[in-house]
């Protein structure tokens, strides 16, 4: 039988993972400045196996608007170039046979607004995930109370604690979203 503490810890852990995932998603949104996070998780077919770009190449940003990718295996350059094009990031890689250069063009106003909408959608998905964690935790706590494993007072305190964790997590999501929107809209 689960304890109230285990339910709370599990809920906090899942909410924290949702925030971490949102941060990873936000790092992949193009903002007009070069960031290795933009390309590092692109899947490249490497000897028939989908592999993350960061595992088969070094990624650097020597300038504010340029990403340089140097493959550990030069024969993979063509596959890396195709994968970047297929990722539909709005960038065009240039392969010179040794490295791939990815210039990051300036975002126009329309593209900035579109990226902001994408960020808002990701944030909303994270909020929904956090609320689902809250719902599951609340159901577990109510089931414990129905089984007479805990009192009504403990149930109420636990439900209040879960709600506070949810509110804190949603506040953090909103803060991350505001920061990302400001970063996207900065010219």
| Residue 180 backbone class (left: φ over 0; alpha: ψ -120 to 50; beta: rest) | alpha
Contact predicate 101/66, CB 8 Å: yes
pLDDT-derived band of residue 161, with 50, 70 and 90 as boundaries?
very high
What is the distance, to the nearest Å, from the Cα of residue 118 to the centroid of all Cα atoms in its chain?
12
pLDDT higher than threshold 60 for residue 1: no
Token pair 């604690």 in the structure block, residue: 161
What's the pLDDT at 101? Answer: 92
Cβ atoms within 10 Å, residue 9: 11
Q: What is the pTM of this model?
A: 0.72
Mean pLDDT value across residues 126-151 = 92
**Average pLDDT of the residues in 86-107:** 85
C-alpha span between 123 and 118 (Å, rounded): 9
pLDDT for 187: 63
What does the pLDDT look like over 3-21, one tens digit per residue?
A: 888 989 999 999 999 999 9
**What does the pLDDT read at residue 70?**
92
The structural domains of the chain, ordered by start, are 4-27+108-185 (1.10.132.20), 36-103 (3.30.1360.40)
**130 in Cβ contact with 164 (< 8 Å):** no
Rounded-to-integer distance, Cα 92 and Cα 98, Å: 17
């Amino acid at each position: 039988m689960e304890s109230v503490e285990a339910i709370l810890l599990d809920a906090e852990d899942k909410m924290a993972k949702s925030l971490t995932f949102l941060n990873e998603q936000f790092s992949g949104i193009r903002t007009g400045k070069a960031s290795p996070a933009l390309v590092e998780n692109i899947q490249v077919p490497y000897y028939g196996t989908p592999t993350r770009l960061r595992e088969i190449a070094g990624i650097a940003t020597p300038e504010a608007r340029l990403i340089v990718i140097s493959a550990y295996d030069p024969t993979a350059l063509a596959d890396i170039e195709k994968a970047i094009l297929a990722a539909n990031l709005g960038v065009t890689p240039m392969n010179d046979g040794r490295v791939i250069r990815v210039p990051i063009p300036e975002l126009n106003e329309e593209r900035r607004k579109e990226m902001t909408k994408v960020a808002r959608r990701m944030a909303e998905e994270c909020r929904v995930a956090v609320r689902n964690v809250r719902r599951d935790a609340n159901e577990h706590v109510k089931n414990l109370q129905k089984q007479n494993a805990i009192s009504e007072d403990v149930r109420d305190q636990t439900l209040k604690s879960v709600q506070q964790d949810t509110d804190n997590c949603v506040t953090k999501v909103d803060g991350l979203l505001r920061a990302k929107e400001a970063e996207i809209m900065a010219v």
